[in-house]
Each structure stands twice: as structure tokens, then as C-alpha cells.
Amino acid sequence: ADRRAAAEWNGVGATADGRRVRILGNVGSVADARAAAEAGAEGIGLFRTEFCYLDAPSEPSVTEQRAAYAAVLAPFAGKPVVVRTLDAGADKPLAFLAPEPEPNPALGVRGVRVAFARPEVLDRQLEAIAAAAAESGAEVSVMAPMVATAAEAAWFAERARAAGIARAGVMIEVPAAALAAREILEVADFVSVGTNDLAQYTFAADRQLGAVAALNDPWQPALLRLLALVGEAARDAGKPAGVCGEAAADPRLARVLTGLGMTSLSMTAAAIRPVGATLATATFADCEAEARRALGSGA
């Protein structure tokens, strides 16, 4: 069914009654960006920049970073691209940002917390992103990973603007950030929910541990209720809210996420057409009804 629906998607993310939901690609390399563009992505909702440097022994120069980012942005000239600043952590260690050994790396100095400790590394990355944006012609925003509070979001947005980047958003992947979505949206231009980490931290279940994988289920009402808070906050603020975790790649869940108020969905290239096609067969009211059912089902 997905294959037939895939053939039918017209390439513009929207419900059957025309409510726009941008269908975007998750990328970490030039190959990913080409695959996303070929699949019909309307832009990039998550560029995981740390993927460029998993093997880098030392911090890449601004010039090197600029070239690497511009190559990924190239297929998306004139289109929206969200570049996430380095998300180094236990699952994605970067040699030049290696933290001290920690008893609980998932709860330690990772994501934007690394930038608080090494702001000069963030500033150099922002400088490279601004230059790559100008070179590629993509409509570039930046986004911080692992933000927990509105104060952290404000700190990041200020640095991004100082680097000449017009739009700065943050990921919602810590439960505290979902609960503070209103305050965060007072200082950030948009939010994007990372359901992989948000599920991990909501259910206290390591996303890398098979033994607790069943808990990391994005259909769980507890997780969807956090997403609903984010959707309501974004609607009231008149600002975009997306999902860029794996949940956005499930076509049925994509409708639920739309019903919860998400305005973009970002995913791996293979999911773009199935999600676009499935969304196009439901009205926004259908999506809202599916969201209400999913919120209420005590799975």
C-alpha cells in the first residue's frame, strides 16, 4: 500500500484539506542530502553535523567546516535547512570534544552542554554555518541539541544571532524542555522534537539498550502528551514546531503528530514519500481525531 501511495504523493506536504506540514529530510552527509533531495524532501529538518566529524582527530577549521556544510546544503538552495550544532555525547563521541569519563553519559555533558563548556567551538561552528549558508543559497537556521531550559535556549539564540544567523531554534528532547515549551518559544524561533531522546528520557530507558527497547515506543500516550504540550505552545506562539526523531518516519504516527500541532516532519529519505502520501489522504480534522485517540489509549 505504501508503494502505491508513494507514487501518488505530489511533493507538497499537506493534509487532504490543505493544511501544510513540511516533509523534510534528516541528513548527516552529502550522500544523505542527495538521497533526501531525490526523494522529494522540501528541505532539511535535521542536519546532524557531528556525523561529519566522528573520525576527526582534532577540531576542523572554520574553512573545512564551511566546505563540508556547503556541500551538504548544495542540493537545497532556496529551501529551508536546519543545521544542528554539534551533538557530541556518549553515543557519538568526538575526539576533540571528549568529556571527562562520566558515570551516566546520557545524563552528562552532551549536546549544548558541551557548548557551555567550550563556547569558542560553538562560535567557530556558527561562523562556518553562516558562511556555508551564504555560499549555498539555502535558507539556513541553526538548532541546538539537548536543551533543558529557556535560559539555555536564550543563550544559544543570542550566540547564533551574534554570528549573523537569522533563525535559531532548539530541540525538544529533554522532558523539562517539553514542559517549558512556552518559555522556550519566547526566545527561540522554532522548536523540533527529537523523539528518540525524548522517549529515552521520559521512560528512563537507554535508547541503546535492547532489553528496554519496548519502553521507547513513540505511540505511548505519555510521550504524545508531551508532544501535545509542544504543539499547543507553538500554536499559541505562532511559531513552527517539528518532529525530527524516528517517530516522524512512521506514516500513521505522522498523522497523529500533525493532529498534535506539528508543522513539519523530518525523516530518513526512504520515509519521505510514504509519509507525504499518507498525510495527503487525511484531513486535519482526521489527524486531530487520530491524535485524540492516541492520547487517550492507555497503552
Least distance in angstroms from the C-beta of 277 to ligand PEP: 23
Binders of Mg ion among 177-196, rule CB under 5 A? 194
Least distance in angstroms from the C-beta of 200 to ligand PEP: 8
Least distance in angstroms from the C-beta of 7 to ligand PEP: 28
Cα separation of 122 and 9, whole Å?
A: 39
Least distance in angstroms from the C-beta of 229 to ligand PEP: 17
Q: Is 50 in the site for Mg ion (CB under 5 A)?
A: no
Query: Which residues, in sequence order, are CB contacts of 289 under 8 Å at separation 6+?
Result: 259
Binding site for ligand PEP (CB under 6 A): 46, 48, 87, 173, 194-197, 244-245
Name the residue nearer to ligand PEP (CB basis): 203 or 284.
203
Segment contacting Mg ion (CB under 5 A): 92-100, 153-161, 171-179, 250-258?
A: 171-179
Q: Which listed option, Mg ion, ligand PEP, none, makes contact with residue 48 (CB within 5 to 8 Å by class)?
A: ligand PEP
Least distance in angstroms from the C-beta of 197 to ligand PEP: 3
Cα–Cα distances in angstroms (integers) from residue 266 to residues 30, 69, 149, 270, 297, in the given order: 17, 18, 23, 11, 25
Least distance in angstroms from the C-beta of 195 to Mg ion: 9
Name the residue nearer to ligand PEP (CB basis): 59 or 173.
173
Q: Which listed option, Mg ion, ligand PEP, none, makes contact with residue 41 (CB within 5 to 8 Å by class)?
A: none
Q: Which listed option, ligand PEP, Mg ion, none, makes contact with residue 160 (CB within 5 to 8 Å by class)?
A: none
Q: Is 197 in the site for Mg ion (CB under 5 A)?
A: yes
Name the residue nearer to Mg ion (CB basis): 136 or 216.
216
Name the residue nearer to ligand PEP (CB basis): 28 or 137.
28
Q: Which long-range contacts (CB under 8 A, 24 or more apart) does 281-285 make?
A: 281/5, 281/16, 282/15, 282/16, 282/255, 282/258, 283/15, 283/16, 283/17, 284/15, 284/17, 284/19, 284/258, 284/259, 285/17
Q: 124-155 burial string, b = 16+ CB within 10 Å, else e?
A: bbbbbbbbbbebbebbbbbbbbbbbebebbbb
β partners of residue 243: 193, 265
Name the residue nearer to ligand PEP (CB basis): 6 or 234.
234
Q: Is 276 in the site for Mg ion (CB under 5 A)?
A: no
Name the residue nearer to ligand PEP (CB basis): 53 or 284.
53
Segment contacting Mg ion (CB under 5 A): 88-96, 102-110, 166-174, 233-241?
A: 166-174
Give the closest residue to 125 by CA, choosing from 114, 110, 137: 114
Q: Which long-range contacts (CB under 8 A, 24 or more apart) does 284-289 make?
A: 284/15, 284/17, 284/19, 284/258, 284/259, 285/17, 286/15, 286/16, 286/255, 286/259, 287/15, 287/255, 287/256, 287/258, 287/259, 288/259, 289/259
State the residues that interact with Mg ion by CB under 5 A. Answer: 173, 194, 197
